[in-house]
Amino acid sequence: MNAQPDLIFDPQLIRRFDVNGPRYTSYPTADRFVEAFDANALQDWLAKRAVGGVSRPLSLYFHIPFCNTICYYCACNKIITKDHGRSAKYLKYLEKEIEMQVAALGGSRQVTQLHLGGGTPTFLSHEEMHQLMDAVRRFFNLAPNGEYSIEVDPRKVDFDTVEMLANLGFNRMSVGVQDFSDDVQRAVNRVQSVEETRLVIDAARATGFKSVSLDLIYGLPKQNVISFNRTLEQVLDISPDRISLYSYAHLPGLFKPQRRILQSDMPTPEAKLQILQLAIRRLTEAGYVYIGMDHFAKPDDELTVAQRQGRLHRNFQGYSTQAECDLLAFGVSAIGKVGAAYAQNVKTLDEYYDALDRDQLPVLRGVELTADDLLRRSVIQALMCHFELSMQSIEIAHLIDFRDYFAAELADLAEMQAAGLLEIDGDWITVLPAGRMLVRGIAMVFDRYLRADRERARYSKVI
């Protein structure tokens, strides 16, 4: 494995190659899933896990869609409510879905990774959280050294809640911040002090959490370089293990809450780029390693170590050290992966409850991967996770001649190579320091579906 060089931020190159594109938490991407893949198809794939007597360990994802208040920037599948009767009902159906998936499941029930996302998972009461984790342990075997993570809203969580989560087995936490500026927080309807954020992170450290990740967003209304620099000062003082730095995509036509954000409050594309440049410089100078996409981690963090050792992986929760898991997903809109298939659940509570009332898995759509999909997924994973690709390793794994199979793609990379984004040398394709910020654009060259239709307007910008 080649030593990883540093990241280079080149505004001119970013302007030139910044296109609309997917985030590649899966390939094919979720917008390519088809409704012909239904509940029966998922059941078949769940049963196939035992074929040959070998089954991968499991990763579990639970989507908890409820939030107390609305954050105007949010594009997640969520339900705004203060009524805990709704979460109590949801948990009953969640248990039924677990039971139904497990009834169809072949092979091992050993779990090495679990993630609660949303919405706001900490919307659940202490009793509800116990109820959910009791159900998980009833149906699955949780490995003692597994990764068990939860997304936390610090505005609704105190020390006792964090201690309860630790006692339930959670050992990783993702904390939403976005920005500490008062003006920005008011503009996006998420007012959250540094003090309450620090309280939750201190509690996580005191109760034995192995890793705390903090989420920031650049490009929000009222944001500027000076205010975001103050946010970065406060973040670096908190010193989280990982930092996610997401680009805000303002798509009010698609996401209704974003219509409450004034266009006149939005930073210009130039200002947004300057904010990103500042953030990258501050984080890397503070010792954080650029993992890829929008993720930074400390040098001794498990993600950084996994990347150094060539073990880093990418799934629907982002970067992960768990490469060989089958991902079982539960709840509205949740996406799972079993063998060579992806499946996504229905997106509304009514559809979800209706399917389960009919004793049917609530599958909306999915896809069975072809040999070409599996090949291209390997290529895209390697580029996104390691910034380099051995053509020979792909040839051995997929029984192809790389240069022949990808002749058109390699020709398309010539412009990026000439611009200094990447290098094609002998058996290796290497993303150079100036190309790391644009790795999504490089990966897109290998996306057969994009090559077929060039419909890139459906995605947010890469930067």
In sequence order, what DSSP letters do the residues of 213-282 get, joined into one string? Answer: EEEEEES-TT--HHHHHHHHHHHHHH--SEEEEEEP---TTT-GGGGGS-GGGSPPHHHHHHHHHHHHHH
Of 96-105, 304-313, 345-354, the least confident: 304-313
Q: Is 27 annotated as a binding residue?
A: no
For the cut 80, the answer to whether the pLDDT of residue 316 exceeds it is no
Q: Is 118 annotated as a binding residue?
A: yes
Nearest to 91 by CA among 60, 119, 59, 65: 65
Nearest to 388 by CA among 428, 436, 426, 446: 428
Q: Is 449 annotated as a binding residue?
A: no
Q: Residue 53: what pLDDT?
A: 59
pLDDT class for 294, splitting at 50, 70, 90? confident
Q: Is 119 left (phi over 0), alpha (psi -120 to 50) or beta?
A: left
Q: Residue 462: what pLDDT?
A: 61
Q: Is 387 left (phi over 0), alpha (psi -120 to 50) or beta?
A: left
Own/partner long-range contacts of 163-170 (Cβ < 8 Å, ≥24 apart): 163/203, 163/207, 164/126, 164/129, 164/130, 165/129, 165/207, 166/204, 166/207, 166/208, 166/209, 168/129, 168/130, 168/133, 169/133, 169/142, 170/209
Q: Is 76 annotated as a binding residue?
A: no
What are the boundaries of each domain within the chain?
1-27+370-463, 29-328
Phi, psi for 89 (deg, rounded to 5): -65, -45
Report how far residue 140's alpha carbon sits from residue 143's, in angstroms, rounded to the nearest whole number.
9
Work out the angle between the directed axes of helices 84-104 and 126-139 (0-180°, nearest 10). 0
pLDDT class for 4, splitting at 50, 70, 90? very low
Nearest to 314 by CA among 414, 387, 261: 387
Containing 346, the helix (H) or strand (E) segment is none
The alpha carbon of 264 is separated from its chain's Cα centroid by a whole number of angstroms, namely 30
Q: Residue 3: what pLDDT?
A: 46
Residue predicted with more confidence, 349 or 52: 349
Q: What's the average model confidence in pLDDT over 179-200?
A: 95
Q: Is 178 annotated as a binding residue?
A: yes
pLDDT class for 8, splitting at 50, 70, 90? confident
Residue 231, token pair as written in the block: 């946010």
Q: Is 342 annotated as a binding residue?
A: no
Q: Is 90 annotated as a binding residue?
A: no
Own/partner long-range contacts of 181-187 (Cβ < 8 Å, ≥24 apart): 181/222, 181/223, 181/227, 181/228, 181/230, 181/231, 183/222, 183/227, 184/220, 184/221, 184/222, 184/223, 184/227, 186/222, 187/72, 187/220, 187/221, 187/222, 187/261, 187/262, 187/265
pLDDT class for 52, splitting at 50, 70, 90? low
Mean pLDDT estimate for the chain: 92
Q: What's the average model confidence in pLDDT over 120-131?
A: 96
CB 438 within 8 A of CB 415: no
Q: Is 85 annotated as a binding residue?
A: no
Q: Residue 461: what pLDDT?
A: 65
For the cut 50, the answer to whether the pLDDT of residue 163 exceeds it is yes
Report how far residue 437's alpha carbon sits from residue 271's, in angstroms, rounded to the nearest whole number.
17
Q: What's the average model confidence in pLDDT over 177-200?
A: 95
For the cut 90, the answer to whether the pLDDT of residue 198 exceeds it is yes
pLDDT class for 1, splitting at 50, 70, 90? very low
Of 69-83, 343-357, 386-400, the least confident: 69-83
Report how far residue 53's alpha carbon sits from residue 69's, in angstroms, rounded to the nearest whole number.
48
For the cut 70, the answer to whether the pLDDT of residue 255 exceeds it is yes
Q: What's the average model confidence in pLDDT over 341-359?
A: 97
CB 92 within 8 A of CB 124: no
Q: Is 75 annotated as a binding residue?
A: yes
Containing 334, the helix (H) or strand (E) segment is none
CB burial of residue 102 (10 Å; 0-12, 13-18, 19+)? middle
pLDDT class for 320, splitting at 50, 70, 90? confident
Nearest to 234 by CA among 289, 280, 193, 281: 193
Q: How does DSSP assign 29-78, residue by residue?
A: -GGG-BTTS-HHHHHHHHHHTTGGG----EEEEEEE-EESS--TT--S--
CB 74 within 8 A of CB 220: no
Q: Choose which CATH entry (1.10.1740.10, 3.40.640.10, 1.10.10.920, 3.40.50.1000) describes domain 1-27+370-463.
A: 1.10.10.920
Q: Residue 2: what pLDDT?
A: 45
Give me the percent of the chain exceeding a pLDDT of 70: 96
Q: What's the average model confidence in pLDDT over 315-340?
A: 88
- pLDDT tens profile 264-288: 999 998 999 999 999 999 999 999 9
Q: Is 61 annotated as a binding residue?
A: yes
Q: pTM to 2 decimals?
A: 0.91
Containing 211, the helix (H) or strand (E) segment is strand 211-218
For the cut 50, the answer to whether the pLDDT of residue 307 exceeds it is yes
In the CATH hierarchy, which fold is given to the domain comprising 29-328?
A: pyruvate-formate lyase- activating enzyme (3.80.30)
Q: Is 67 annotated as a binding residue?
A: yes
pLDDT class for 77, splitting at 50, 70, 90? confident
Q: Is 382 annotated as a binding residue?
A: no
Can you tell me whether residue 329 is helix, strand or coil? strand
- pLDDT tens profile 421-462: 999 999 999 999 999 989 999 999 999 999 887 644 455 666
Q: What's the average model confidence in pLDDT over 122-129?
A: 95
Q: Is 35 annotated as a binding residue?
A: no
Of 19-33, 86-100, 162-176, the least confident: 19-33
Q: Is 385 annotated as a binding residue?
A: no
